[in-house]
Structure 1
Amino acid sequence: MFNHNKIIVFLLFFIVFFSSSEPGYSQTSSNDIVYVLPVEQTVERGLEAFLERSVNEAEEAGADHIIFEIDTPGGAVDAAGNIAAIIRNAPVPTTAFVTDEAMSAGAFIALNADEIAMAPSTEMGAAQVIDGSGNAASDKAQSAWIKNMKGAAELNGRDPEYAIAMADPSVDLEEYRAGEGSLLSLTASEAEEVGYAEHIVEDREELLSALDLEGAEVQEADVSIAEHIARFVTNPIIIPILLSVGSLGLILELYSPGFGIPGIMGASSLFLFFFGHAIAGFAGMESIVLFIAGLVLMIIELFVPGFGIFGFLGIGAMIGSMILASFSTLNIVLSILIAAVVSIAAAAILFSVFGKRGPMKRLVLEESVNTNEGYISNVSRNELVGKTGKSLTPLRPSGSIIVGEERLDVVTEGGYIEQGENVKIVAVQGSRIIVRNL
């Protein structure tokens, strides 16, 4: 009986020991994986592409939690909306950790996470929509944005009034405003007070502790060099600059002997445009092939007299390729128009100042022939000036005369001369012999 009891006690101890060692039974598991994704600088489509790739990578790696470390002054509304959708659709719990500021579009992104954590002395808010000139956007755009802010707040049970006040200065929340007519911005303590922050932590380690993920394996998603380039060249302000530099460089190359700095500058700018948009996931191989085809057609047009079908097809193909590669049709059309104006103005100035040089000189015939070099297009009868003759036909004002035994085709100075009248040759202009009645 004693041996049986010993065996039972041993088995119970064995079961309890190994059961408590199973990962599923521990409060925090060393197998937990936390992905940390930086949301930094301006919010634009390049950042969207990076976050989409990183969230997919976290899902494939079996991450248990994703932390978005936010430090941004805001950015493009469309990109913010897409990033918010990426966060909402993430397959695992998400936390927005404001490490410095989450302003404008950054505040909207943070509100879409399951939880919000803020470091001391950080702030979140001031999310009014502005247009390209820095002024408040139209009422229609403002109304849509306010609804988006409200929906993001309600998504996780937060009081939407504060989110609305971040986008609408007319909402009365004087206790938290910097002044009348200003947009709401919340400090870390204020955000915690109104339920817009679940945690105030000093750093990432303290946040992991607050999330009960102390023993988790932390994976940081780094922005690659290619993605840095993509974020830079997909900025709506940079795109027209790139296209203008690209077109201007190629035009300058036409006035330069050989292939030099202007050509390299132009080709590099256009390469960066397509490379950045390809990395960001906007440009496919079809847009690159279409652009190259357009470039080939333009080169063919340079060697074909006049401006015809090859030129129009080339321009159309190049513009079409840029539209296909862009994330916004309106933005790329405006950028192309800006580049076109810059290119036309530059071409006009260069042509007027430098004339035809470089490859342009080879495409235009500049040599001329003249009598000083021995070239004669027709025989000039200057020796006839002063001679007299008689009209063989009426001169009205052209006709024929006879000088000596030679018959000549002549014209009068403008008057009518009858047949058989005496005339005098007064001038010879090339093959044109002018006579006057005596």
Structure 2
Amino acid sequence: MRTKLRLTCSIAFLVIACLLIPLQTLVYSDEEQTAESVVYYIPVEQTVERGLEAFMSRSFKTAIENSATHIVLEMDTPGGAVDAAGNIATLIQETEIPVITFVKSKAISAGAYIALNSDEIIMTPGATMGSAAVIDGAGNAAEDKTQSYWLSEMRSAAELNDRDPQYALAMADQRIDLPELGAGAGDLLTLTAQQAMEVGYAESIATNRSEVLEYLGLENAIERDMEVSFSEQIARFVTHPVVIPILLSIGSLGLVLELYSPGFGVPGIMGISSLLLFFFGHMFAGFAGWESMILFVVGFLLIMIEIFVPGFGIFGLLGIASVIGGMLLASFSTGSMLIYIAIALVITALSTVFIFKYFGHRGPMKKIIHTDSTSTEKGYITNATRKELIGQKGETLTPLRPSGSAVLNQERLDVVSDGGYIGQGREIEVVYTAGSRIVVREVKESKLKEE
């Protein structure tokens, strides 16, 4: 009887254990999934430039180091530099973690290209994506070679995740006609959220993060935000293609004005601050090293030596070459930096002429230009040769041994005889002038009359 009871209890225990183990496994798996699901949100906002590229590189590295399972790019950008967008796209492609782009407002131009490189695209109901033509710095269409390259990149980005490439090409090429989507001949394609869903360029429409996580099946995931630091904000601002020539112009103009002002004042502080800000931003963004800063400082010192130590210009030439070399080393594109430097030199030259011409004698600018002068009224006597005195007659006020004073046309002058002694009160005649030297000779006729 006891044997049967033990056997029955053992069987019951085994049955209960078999029922509990799968349930326990499911609960554990769900907890493990929840613990391992980590979503990093990375903002992709404002202009796409090298500062944003540096920030995204740091953000991806941080996400990977902290075992992120998904990266969500929260996008709202009007586009920007093609080279920066290309590097960001490479960063996305080389990341094994799924990357999702959540278009909160707009993904235009370079933003559309970045979004197409991500694994999935989710858009808010009012978001737009497209209009990705390449333009140059003047706002004109880029040359055919650049356009061809960009079209191939747009095609590759679309095909990367099995999207129909014709829509990506229509975003960058006005010749493609898609009237059903509002992009007729001469228009670039810009997709709304609903249109993107219809053509397979968006996987879902969501209004907030919660709906994004719900679509991804990550409702219980750990959410973490990447924020742009203050230093990165400065770096993004400083490395903007429009800001770079402005900083270089302010820097060079400030140093030029400082050369014409006494001591060290506002122009010098303004110039040095602008140039240091330029180098700081590029160093923080990862484009410049200490060698570029050292080269710039050496160049600046050589220019100062050339200014204060007269020479043959060798120090000045070496200084200018070092400064330009430091800027080129700090740049992300040598060609672009040469253009920026040329723009800064032109602006500096024009501004300097304008300031000296119209503001040199007004307000605080009086301190920049030396306006004082030496004049006869202030007691100064010019060293200019007075040829008009030659042949004029006067009278000696003091004996000439051989120098002394005389009166010529009611003007008292220092004179010197042509060799002999001339007494006081004698009539004299100017025979030669050179600078401040006035040579006189006694008039013999006056002697005969006195005798």
* TM-score scaled by length of structure 2: 0.79
Q: Structure 2: how far apart are the matches of 1:193 and 1:169?
A: 21
Counterpart position of 1:327:
332
1:429 paired to 2:433: yes
1:206 paired to 2:211: yes
The answer to whether the Cα contact below 8 Å between 1:254 and 1:357 also exists between their aligned partners in 2 is: no
Gaps of 5+ in 2: 1-6, 394-416, 421-428, 442-451
Q: In the TM superposition, what is the alpha-carbon distance from 1:434 to its structure 2 partner?
A: 12
Give the secondary structure class of the aligned counterpart of 1:170.
coil
Comparing 175-184 and 287-296, the one that deviates more: 175-184
- Aligned counterpart in structure 2 of residue 43 of structure 1, from 36, 40, 48: 48
* Structure with bigger RCO (C-alpha 8 Å, 6+ apart): 1
1:291–1:170 Cα change, 3 Å: same
Counterpart position of 2:298:
293
Counterpart position of 1:420:
none
Q: Which amino acid in the other structure matches residue 193 of structure 1?
A: E
Counterpart position of 2:155:
150
Show the 5 A alignment for 1:14-413: 14-23=20-29, 28-348=33-353, 354=360
The answer to whether the Cα contact below 8 Å between 2:120 and 2:203 also exists between their aligned partners in 1 is: yes
Comparing 156-165 and 328-337, the one that deviates more: 328-337
Q: Structure 1: how far apart are the matches of 2:295 and 2:178?
A: 54
Q: Structure 2: how far apart are the matches of 1:428 and 1:262?
A: 50
Task: Report sequence identity in percent.
Answer: 51
Q: Which amino acid in the other structure matches residue 36 of structure 2?
A: N
1:253–1:172 Cα change, 3 Å: same
Q: Structure 2: how far apart are the matches of 1:30 and 1:63?
A: 11
- Aligned counterpart in structure 2 of residue 5 of structure 1, from 5, 11, 17: 11
Q: In the TM superposition, what is the alpha-carbon distance from 1:98 to its structure 2 partner?
A: 0.8
CA RMSD of aligned residues (A): 3.6
Q: In the TM superposition, what is the alpha-carbon distance from 1:263 to its structure 2 partner?
A: 2.0
Comparing 298-307 and 192-201, the one that deviates more: 298-307
Q: Structure 2: how far apart are the matches of 1:16 and 1:404?
A: 130
Give the secondary structure class of the aligned counterpart of 2:72.
strand
1:404–1:315 Cα change, 3 Å: closer
Q: In the TM superposition, what is the alpha-carbon distance from 1:13 to its structure 2 partner?
A: 4.5
Give the secondary structure class of the aligned counterpart of 2:35.
coil
* TM-score scaled by length of structure 1: 0.81
Per-residue CA deviation, residues 166-191 of structure 1 (Å, 9 max, x unaligned), is 11111121111244311111111111
Comparing 293-302 and 242-251, the one that deviates more: 293-302
Give the secondary structure class of the aligned counterpart of 2:237.
helix
Q: Structure 2: how far apart are the matches of 1:133 and 1:161?
A: 28
Q: In the TM superposition, what is the alpha-carbon distance from 1:133 to its structure 2 partner?
A: 1.7
Q: In the TM superposition, what is the alpha-carbon distance from 1:86 to its structure 2 partner?
A: 1.1
Q: In the TM superposition, what is the alpha-carbon distance from 1:127 to its structure 2 partner?
A: 0.9
Give the secondary structure class of the aligned counterpart of 2:135.
coil
Q: In the TM superposition, what is the alpha-carbon distance from 1:326 to its structure 2 partner?
A: 0.8
Counterpart position of 2:408:
none
Q: Which amino acid in the other structure matches residue 305 of structure 1?
A: P
1:214–1:31 Cα change, 3 Å: same
The answer to whether the Cα contact below 8 Å between 1:256 and 1:357 also exists between their aligned partners in 2 is: no
Comparing 255-264 and 319-328, the one that deviates more: 255-264
Q: Structure 2: how far apart are the matches of 1:101 and 1:404?
A: 94
The answer to whether the Cα contact below 8 Å between 1:255 and 1:357 also exists between their aligned partners in 2 is: no
Q: Structure 2: how far apart are the matches of 1:336 and 1:426?
A: 61
Q: Which amino acid in the other structure matches residue 166 of structure 1?
A: M
Q: Structure 2: how far apart are the matches of 1:48 and 1:305?
A: 46
1:301–1:253 Cα change, 3 Å: same
Per-residue CA deviation, residues 210-254 of structure 1 (Å, 9 max, x unaligned), is 001111111111011111111111111110000001111122223
Q: Structure 2: how far apart are the matches of 1:383 and 1:77?
A: 78
Q: Which amino acid in the other structure matches residue 26 of structure 2?
A: S
1:267–1:5 Cα change, 3 Å: same
Q: Which amino acid in the other structure matches residue 126 of structure 1?
A: S
Q: Structure 1: how far apart are the matches of 2:33 and 2:163?
A: 28
Q: Structure 1: how far apart are the matches of 2:324 and 2:234?
A: 22
Counterpart position of 1:389:
none
Q: In the TM superposition, what is the alpha-carbon distance from 1:347 to its structure 2 partner?
A: 4.1
